[in-house]
Chain A
Amino acid sequence: MAGINPSVLRLLWTRFAWRHWKMSPVSSFLLLLILATGVAAFFSIRLANLAALEGFKNFTSLITSQSDGIITAPVGKLSDAILPELRQLLGNLPVNLVPVLETSAVEPGASEPQAIGSRPTFQLVGLDLPALMNLDGQADHEPGWFGSGTSSRTNQSPNGFSTILRDGISVFVNPFLAGQKGLKVGSPLTLVINEHEVTLRVAGNIPTVPGQAAAPPDLLIMDLPALQRLTDQPGQLDRVEFVLEEGPHREEQWQQARQKLESANPAGHPRWVVGSPSTRRAAAATMTGAFRLNLTILSLLALLVGLYLVFQGLDGAVVRRRGEIAVLRSLGVTSGQIQVAWLVEAACMGLAGGAIGLVLGWVGAQFAVKMVTRTVNALYFSSSAHSAPFDFGEAGMALALSLVAGLFAGWRPARAAANTPPAQIAVRAGAVPYPGGMLLRQPQLGFLLAILGTVLICFPPVRLAGGGRLPVAAYGAALCWIFGAGIFSGSFLSWLGGSLSRFQINSVPLRLACSHLREPSGRHRLLVASLVCAIGMTAGMAILVGSFDATMRGWIARTFQADLYISSDGAQTASSSSRISQPTWRQVVTLPCVERANIIQVMDIKLGGASTLLVGNRLSFFRDYAHPAWVQPPLSDEVFDPARNSRLALASEAFSERFQLHRGDEVRVPTPGGFQRVTLAGIFSDYGNERGSLLIEQGQFAQWYGNELAASLILALKPGWDAEAVRAELRAGHPGLGVFTSRYLRGESLRIFHQTFAVTYALELIGVVVAIAGLAFTMASLLWERRNDMNTLRALGLRRGELARAAAWEGALTAVAGVFWGLAVSLALGWLLIYRINKQTFGWTLQTARPWGQLCALALLVLFSAVVAGWCTGRWGARLPAEREE
Chain B
Amino acid sequence: MTMNSKRISFNSTKVFVIRFGAMVMLMGCLSRAAGFSGQTKDGFAIPQPGRHFVFPRDHGSHPDFAIEWWYITGHLSAPNERQFGFQATFFRLALAPPGAVVRSSSAAFGSQQIYMAHMALVDKNSGRFVYQERLNRDGWDAYSSTNTLDVRNGNWSLRLLSGKTNDFANDSDNVSEKIELQASIGADASFDLDLKPQKPLVVFGVDGVSRKASDPAAASHYLTYPLLAVKGWLNPGETNLAVAGQAWMDHEFSSSQLGAGQVGWDWLSLQLEDGRELMAYRMRRNDGSTDPFSTVAWIDQAGKVLQVGPRDFKWTILDHWHSTHTQADYPSLVKLEALNPFTGRVETFIVQPFVADQELAGRSGQAAYWEGASRVLDVNKKQIGLAYMELTGYAKSLNGRL
Contacts and interface: CB of A to CB of B under 8 A. Distances in A.
Interface of A: 80-81, 83-84, 87, 90-97, 99, 128, 130-131, 133-134, 139-142, 144, 146, 148-150, 159-162, 165-169, 223-226, 228-229, 234-235, 244-250, 253
A249 B184 CA distance: 14
Interface stretch (B99-107, B219-227, B285-293, B344-352): B99-107
Given A134-B134, A161-B114, A226 B104 contact: yes
B29 A225 contact: no
A148 B365 contact: yes
Q: Identify the interface centre among A128, A144, A165: most chain B CB within 10 Å of its CB.
A: A165
B137 A130 contact: yes
A168 B29 contact: no
Interface stretch (B43-51, B185-193, B369-377): B185-193
Contacts of A140: 363-364
B365 A150 contact: yes
Given A130-B137, A162-B29, A162-B95, A80 B108 contact: yes
Given A92-B183, A139-B365, A226-B104, 18 more contacts: A80-B108, A80-B140, A81-B108, A83-B140, A90-B155, A94-B190, A131-B137, A134-B136, A139-B363, A142-B364, A149-B365, A160-B26, A162-B29, A166-B102, A166-B104, A169-B103, A224-B109, A253-B187
A247 B130 CA distance: 13
A246 B363 CA distance: 17
Contact of A130 (B107, B114, B140, B363): B114
B182 interface: yes
11 contacts: A87-B155, A92-B183, A92-B184, A130-B136, A141-B364, A160-B29, A165-B104, A166-B102, A223-B104, A229-B103, A235-B108
Interface residues on B, range: 35 or more
Interface of B: 25-26, 28-29, 95-96, 102-109, 111, 114, 133-137, 140-141, 154-155, 182-184, 186-188, 190, 192, 362-365, 367, 396
B114 A128 contact: no
Contacts of B96: 162, 166
Nearest to B364: A139
Contacts, number: 135
Contacts of A248: 187
B54 to A, nearest CB: 27
A167 B95 CA distance: 12
Contact of B25 (A160, A167, A226, A229): A160
Contacts of A225: 104-106, 108-109, 111
Say what secondary structure dominates the interface of chain A. Answer: loop
Nearest to B396: A150
Contacts of A87: 140-141, 154-155
Given A134-B135, A142-B364, A165 B111 contact: yes
Given A87-B141, A161-B95, A165-B104, A245 B25 contact: no
Contacts of B363: 133, 139-140
Contacts of A97: 141
Contacts of A245: 184, 186-187
Contact of A250 (B104, B108, B111, B187): B187
A68 B367 CA distance: 31
A508 B140 CA distance: 93
Contacts of A134: 134-136, 154
Contacts of B186: 94, 245-247
Q: Identify the interface centre among B134, B135, B363, B367: most chain A CB within 10 Å of its CB.
A: B135
Contacts of A130: 114, 135-137
B109 A93 contact: no
B364 A150 contact: yes
A99 B182 CA distance: 23
A80 B133 CA distance: 25
B108 A83 contact: yes
Nearest to B101: A166
B104 A94 contact: no
Pairs of residues from A and B, 9 with the lowest C-beta to C-beta distance, nearest first: A247-B187, A148-B365, A168-B104, A168-B103, A139-B363, A83-B140, A225-B109, A226-B104, A80-B108
A585 B67 CA distance: 46
A140 B184 CA distance: 20
Contacts of A146: 25, 365
A95 B155 contact: yes
Contacts of B367: 150
